[in-house]
């Protein structure tokens, strides 16, 4: 029996590896991480990187440095019930039915249940309302005052009436996977940031559309004093002494008011205005694609947190099962030791105690992981700080086989629906329009120009002769064709070369994105297929291991089995249970990752 001590330790290691909380990294991309192009218009470049998926559940490579937060989803039930929380210490029995996200998953169950309260303290109320009650310590409690039943009923009615509704604690309904994903896609801060960026692109597009609108430059002024300037109004000599210059006689001074303005309406620009509008129209397309990418990332991380929570909950349930079996084994060993049976020894007692302490330690880690998982879910669902978060209980194994699409079909869907490809295509179109504008910048612009100049002075005579110059009372209005252009040829050459270089850069990034997406889809698809095969194999292995444990424990209880057989059965059962839960977690998360890398959008109500 002693030589099997190392194999007994394997139970603890398997419980630690397979049944502990899964790692979750909000702000990072786990299985199904995507390239991150940021194409833009008129001076906005596009960057593209390719990220893969991590073989560790819930971890990945962050596409946005500094936004990752690691959490460890924990368990689904608490072993220490608290009054008013409604949390059951007994793990719920897995149910069957249709999943809220599809027709092949188990029916979700609420994560809370009827309260299981510890025994209350001994009563201190008197046995009757008019007799004192004796306490164990020797003290007596005075009898309670007698009240009439009618008075008690009336007081109870008043207390119920006076209780405000706000004092009743509000418990939110448990969120399903579909609800959590929908909230994350709608309220995540990254989605809000992308929405603001989309508004900016829409404003830039409107600016490009109205680039033809004339720019009116108007000046209005009022000033003085203006010296007296009088004549016959036909350009003749001054008619008053104060009108002569060279002395300090200003006469009757006045003020002058003036207004000038001009505007140019483009008529023909050799295609520059049309190209500018085309480039601006690509901006909202880029912004919408970037927002969809942020939504997909937030939704996938919400699913990652959800499945991590369910994995931790099922792990805690398995820990409770193992703990109960170890407790039964310990009681049986103690009974055999008292009978001085040769079947067991004191070493067996130490082994069982060791295993039970390891299970207790793993349970504490799982409970901590549960709190971290709920905190991650609260963050992704944008739940107000301090508000409770509830998640339904759902079994990870699926009732029916769901064959993933073929690799060729997955690659085809990714090429059609990935928002990164939409964004890079729109960015290339905008850069091509910019190159066209730079090429046509050597040509002038032809437009219709208009201007006016009006001046009125109170102390000067208005000249009526068209040959007389009148700076005090001028009225001029004009309209005509104009041609405007610049001859800074070296500057234009440099700007054109820069635009062409940016276009070539986007073409290179487009190739990188296509290659990265194909590699990413291939990796995620392969991991999903492998996880599905593991899940089916470990499911059968767990069934056989459970039968093995039952048979070994029955034989040990009857005295016909050895401790070695019991340890071997426990080791196999713990390993198979942990591997099964881990493989089904990989399957469910792999399905969500495949939807993400192929650009699938969750349907309403899924």
Residue 560 has pLDDT above 80, yes or no: no
Residue 555 has a pLDDT of 84
More confident residue, 344 or 520: 520
Look up residue 585 and give its two tokens: 């977690």
Residue 4 has a pLDDT of 37
Task: Give the dihedral sign, CA 356/357/360/361.
Answer: negative
**CA-to-CA distance for 406 and 522, rounded, in angstroms?**
10
pLDDT in tens, 123-169: 333 344 344 444 444 444 444 344 444 444 445 445 544 444 444 44
pTM assigned to the model: 0.64
Residue 391 has a pLDDT of 87
**CA-to-CA distance for 360 and 12, rounded, in angstroms?**
10
pLDDT in tens, 344-374: 788 878 877 888 888 888 888 888 877 888 8
**CA-to-CA distance for 468 and 1, rounded, in angstroms?**
126
| Nearest-5° Cα angle at 558, 557 to 561 | 80
Residue 228 has pLDDT above 80, yes or no: yes
Residue 587 has pLDDT above 60, yes or no: yes
For 103-114, what is the mean pLDDT? 41
For 111-128, what is the mean pLDDT? 39
Residue 90 has pLDDT above 70, yes or no: no
Query: Residue 242, class by beta-carbon neighbours within 10 Å (0-12 exposed, 13-18 middle, 19+ buried)?
Result: middle
**CA-to-CA distance for 364 and 291, rounded, in angstroms?**
40
For 65-87, what is the mean pLDDT? 36
Residue 471 has pLDDT above 70, yes or no: yes
Beta strand extents in 6-148 (DSSP E only)? 133-134, 140-141
**76 touches 463 (CB < 8 A):** no
- Partners of 448 in the beta sheet? 265, 481
For 203-227, what is the mean pLDDT? 94
Residue 603 has a pLDDT of 53
The one-character DSSP state at 87 is: -
Pairing type for strands 445-457 and 254-268 reads: antiparallel
| Nearest-5° Cα angle at 355, 349 to 22 | 175
**CA-to-CA distance for 238 and 78, rounded, in angstroms?**
106
Secondary structure (DSSP) of 167-197: GSPP-PPPBPHHHHHHHHHHH-HHHHHHHHH
Residue 275 has pLDDT above 70, yes or no: yes
Task: Give which of 395, 420, 192, 413 is closest to 298, Cα–Cα.
Answer: 192
- Partners of 479 in the beta sheet? 450
Q: Mean pLDDT in the chain? A: 75
pLDDT in tens, 594-603: 999 999 876 5
For 75-80, what is the mean pLDDT? 35
At residue 336, the 3 state secondary structure works out as helix
pLDDT in tens, 239-259: 888 888 888 888 889 999 999
**CA-to-CA distance for 500 and 177, rounded, in angstroms?**
47
* 30-34, 36-40, 77-81, 256-260: the lowest-pLDDT one: 77-81
Residue 170 has a pLDDT of 57
For 495-517, what is the mean pLDDT? 96
Residue 381 has pLDDT above 90, yes or no: no
- Beta-carbon contacts of 510 under 8 Å, excluding residues fewer than 6 positions away, are 48, 424, 425, 428
**60 touches 24 (CB < 8 A):** no
**560 touches 336 (CB < 8 A):** no
More confident residue, 424 or 364: 424
Residue 171 has a pLDDT of 67
Burial 474-511 (b: 16+ CB within 10 A, else e): beeeeeeeeeeeeeeeeeeeeebeebbebbeebeebbe
Residue 46 has pLDDT above 50, yes or no: no
For 445-457, what is the mean pLDDT? 95
Look up residue 573 and give its two tokens: 């059962």
């Amino acid at each position: 029996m002693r030589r099997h001590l190392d194999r007994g330790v394997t139970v603890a290691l398997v419980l630690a590896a397979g049944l502990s909380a899964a790692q979750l990294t909000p702000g990072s991309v786990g299985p199904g991480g995507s390239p991150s192009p940021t194409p833009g218009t008129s001076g906005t470049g596009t960057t593209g990187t390719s990220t893969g998926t991590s073989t560790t559940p819930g971890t990945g490579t962050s596409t946005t440095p500094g936004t990752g937060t690691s959490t460890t989803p924990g368990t689904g039930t608490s072993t220490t019930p608290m009054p008013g929380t409604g949390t059951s210490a007994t793990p719920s029995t897995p149910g069957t039915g249709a999943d809220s996200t599809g027709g092949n998953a188990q029916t979700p169950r609420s994560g809370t249940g009827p309260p299981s309260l510890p025994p209350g303290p001994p009563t201190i109320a008197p046995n009757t309302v008019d007799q004192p009650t004796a306490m164990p310590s020797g003290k007596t409690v005075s009898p309670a005052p007698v009240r009439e039943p009618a008075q008690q009923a009336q007081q109870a009615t008043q207390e119920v009436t006076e209780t405000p509704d706000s004092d009743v604690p509000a418990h939110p309904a448990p969120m399903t996977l579909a609800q959590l994903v929908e909230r994350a896609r709608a309220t995540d801060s990254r989605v809000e940031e992308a929405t603001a960026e989309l508004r900016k692109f829409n404003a830039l597009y409107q600016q490009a559309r109205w680039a033809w609108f004339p720019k009116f430059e108007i000046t209005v002024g009022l000033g003085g004093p203006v010296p007296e300037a009088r004549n016959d109004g036909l350009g003749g000599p001054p008619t008053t002494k104060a009108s002569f210059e060279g002395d300090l006689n200003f006469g009757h001074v006045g003020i002058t008011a003036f207004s000038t303005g001009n505007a140019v309406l483009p008529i023909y620009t050799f295609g520059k205005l049309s190209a500018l509008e085309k480039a601006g129209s690509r901006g909202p397309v880029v912004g919408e694609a970037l927002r969809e990418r942020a939504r997909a990332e937030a939704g996938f991380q919400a699913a990652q947190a959800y499945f991590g929570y369910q994995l931790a909950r099922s792990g805690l349930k398995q820990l409770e099962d193992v703990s109960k079996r170890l407790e039964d084994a310990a009681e049986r060993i103690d009974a055999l030791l008292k009978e001085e049976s040769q079947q067991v020894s004191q070493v067996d007692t130490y082994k069982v105690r060791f295993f039970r302490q390891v299970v207790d330690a793993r349970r504490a880690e799982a409970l901590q992981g549960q709190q971290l998982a709920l905190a991650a879910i609260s963050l992704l669902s944008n739940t107000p700080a301090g508000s409770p978060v509830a998640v339904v209980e759902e079994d990870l194994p699926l009732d029916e086989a769901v064959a993933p699409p073929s690799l060729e079909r997955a690659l085809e869907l990714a090429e059609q629906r990935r928002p990164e490809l939409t964004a890079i295509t729109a960015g290339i179109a905008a850069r091509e329009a910019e190159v066209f504008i730079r090429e046509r910048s050597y040509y002038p612009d032809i437009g219709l120009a208009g201007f006016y100049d009006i001046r009125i002075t109170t102390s000067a005579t208005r000249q009526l002769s068209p040959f007389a110059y009148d700076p005090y009372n001028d009225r001029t209005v004009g309209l005509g064709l104009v041609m405007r252009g610049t001859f800074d040829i070296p500057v234009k050459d440099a700007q054109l070369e820069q635009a062409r270089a940016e276009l070539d850069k986007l073409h290179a990034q487009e190739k990188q994105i296509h290659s990265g997406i194909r590699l990413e889809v291939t990796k995620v698809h392969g991991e999903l297929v492998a996880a599905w095969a593991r899940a089916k194999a470990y499911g059968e292995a767990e069934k056989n291991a459970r039968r093995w444990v039952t048979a070994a424990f029955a034989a040990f209880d009857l005295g016909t089995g050895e401790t070695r057989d019991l340890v071997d059965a426990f080791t196999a059962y713990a390993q198979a249970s942990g591997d099964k839960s881990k493989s089904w977690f990989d399957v469910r998360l792999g399905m969500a990752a495949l939807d993400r890398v192929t650009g699938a959008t969750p349907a309403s109500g899924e």
